[in-house]
């Protein structure tokens, strides 16, 4: 899949070579569900296994299907068509395989964390009707949407968040549900996903103030790293900062 940088055009004899930056190969869709061969519809398999798949996808309908497959969107629009159902062999009891998404595990953990917050809150209204399963389902679906909307990145630092089940997982980088306004509730519009260490560090601070403090730390470290010798390191901006 191509990325935002523009294509590069280079002369190559009497022809022109076009190079376009692309993302690396991935075994997962954008929702981080595994893309296994047994979970792909036979109708698409027939196309993807042919040499045509190496080139630009000319079939508009199949292009839309593959795009939805990569994005992790619902595929019922195609799977419910009579010819697709017949190709799958539904009349013979055949079904598509399904892989549990890593995000499912992360959402389960985050919802448990929210439950604990509700249980231990001191009179604070947090998902006050949490026991209503419909509301719980709605909130879980919202967390899933946030993972996709944020493209797996921390809302504050833009660092990639880790999901439960990731290889080489760093628990400080796990996705964590955070209230944008710490005085508000866990509700749609007031929830963002951040790395767990960010949630711990931020506590009840407002987003802007927390970002300002982070930027000051980064600027100071860069200032000291750029100092040319020990004397410069010791004397660099030792004057007390004005209160902000």
Kindly list the averaged pLDDT for each block of 10 residues, start to end, along the chain of length 244.
Answer: 69 79 72 75 80 61 88 89 90 75 80 76 47 47 87 91 81 91 80 92 85 89 73 53 52
Q: Which of 69, 92, 115 is the last residue of a domain?
A: 92
Long-range own/partner contacts, residues 105-109 (CB < 8 A, 24 or more apart): 105/163, 105/164, 105/165, 106/147, 106/163, 106/164, 106/174, 106/175, 107/140, 107/143, 107/144, 107/147, 109/164, 109/174
Per-residue pLDDT at 153:
92
75 and 126 within one domain: no
108 and 85 within one domain: no
60 and 139 within one domain: no
Q: Which of 92, 110, 138 is the last residue of a domain?
A: 92
Contact in structure between 99 and 36 (CB atoms under 8 Å): yes
Q: How many CB atoms lie within 10 A of CB 234?
A: 10
Is 14 part of any domain?
no
Look-up of token digits 């017949």: 86
Q: Which candidate, 105, 78, 238, 222, places its Cα nearest to that of 174? A: 105
Using CB atoms within 10 Å of the CB of residue 46, give its burial: 0 to 12 exposed, 13 to 18 middle, 19+ buried: exposed
Per-residue pLDDT at 240:
55
Is 97 part of any domain?
no
Using CB atoms within 10 Å of the CB of residue 174, give its burial: 0 to 12 exposed, 13 to 18 middle, 19+ buried: buried
Q: Which helix (H) or strand (E) holds 6?
A: none
Contact in structure between 42 and 94 (CB atoms under 8 Å): no
Is 20 part of any domain?
no
For 17, phi then psi, to 5°, come to -95, 135
82 and 108 within one domain: no
Say how far apart CA 131 and CA 134 lie, in whole Å: 9
Is 244 part of any domain?
no
Is 130 part of any domain?
yes
Secondary structure class of 210 (helix, strand, coil): helix
182 and 142 within one domain: yes
Task: Supply the pTM of this predicted model.
Answer: 0.51
Is 219 part of any domain?
no
82 and 107 within one domain: no
88 and 107 within one domain: no
Look-up of token digits 């628990």: 171
198 and 108 within one domain: yes
Please tell me the total count of domains within the chain.
Answer: 2
Is 111 part of any domain?
yes
Q: Which candidate, 102, 76, 83, 8, places its Cα nearest to that of 42? A: 83
156 and 138 within one domain: yes
Per-residue pLDDT at 132:
35
Q: How many CB atoms lie within 10 A of CB 166?
A: 16
Q: Which helix (H) or strand (E) holds 101?
A: none
Q: Which candidate, 39, 196, 73, 40, places its Cα nearest to that of 144? A: 73
Q: Which of 59, 92, 125 is the last residue of a domain?
A: 92
125 and 87 within one domain: no
118 and 52 within one domain: no
111 and 68 within one domain: no
Contact in structure between 102 and 165 (CB atoms under 8 Å): yes
Is 243 part of any domain?
no
Containing domain of residue 60, as a range? 26-92
């Amino acid at each position: 899949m191509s990325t935002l940088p523009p294509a590069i055009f280079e002369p190559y004899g009497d022809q022109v070579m076009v190079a376009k930056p692309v993302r690396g190969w991935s075994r997962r869709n954008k929702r981080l569900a595994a893309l296994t061969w047994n979970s792909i519809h036979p109708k698409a398999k027939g196309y993807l296994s042919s040499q045509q798949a190496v080139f630009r996808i000319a079939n508009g309908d199949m292009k839309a299907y593959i795009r939805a497959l990569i994005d992790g969107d619902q595929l019922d629009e195609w799977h419910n068509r009579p010819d697709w159902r017949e190709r799958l062999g539904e009349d013979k009891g055949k079904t598509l395989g399904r892989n549990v998404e890593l995000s499912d595990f992360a959402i389960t953990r985050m919802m448990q964390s929210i439950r604990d917050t509700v249980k231990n809150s001191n009179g604070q209204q947090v998902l006050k009707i949490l026991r209503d399963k419909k509301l719980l389902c709605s909130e879980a679906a919202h967390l899933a949407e946030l993972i996709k909307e944020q493209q797996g990145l921390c809302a504050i630092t833009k660092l990639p968040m880790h999901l439960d089940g990731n290889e080489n997982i760093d628990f400080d980088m796990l996705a964590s549900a955070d209230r944008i306004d710490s005085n508000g509730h866990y509700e749609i519009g007031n929830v963002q996903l951040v790395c767990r260490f960010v949630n711990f560090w931020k506590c009840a601070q407002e987003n802007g103030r927390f970002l300002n403090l982070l930027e000051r730390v980064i600027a100071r470290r860069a200032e000291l790293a750029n100092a040319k010798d020990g004397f410069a390191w010791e004397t660099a901006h030792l004057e007390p900062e004005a209160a902000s």
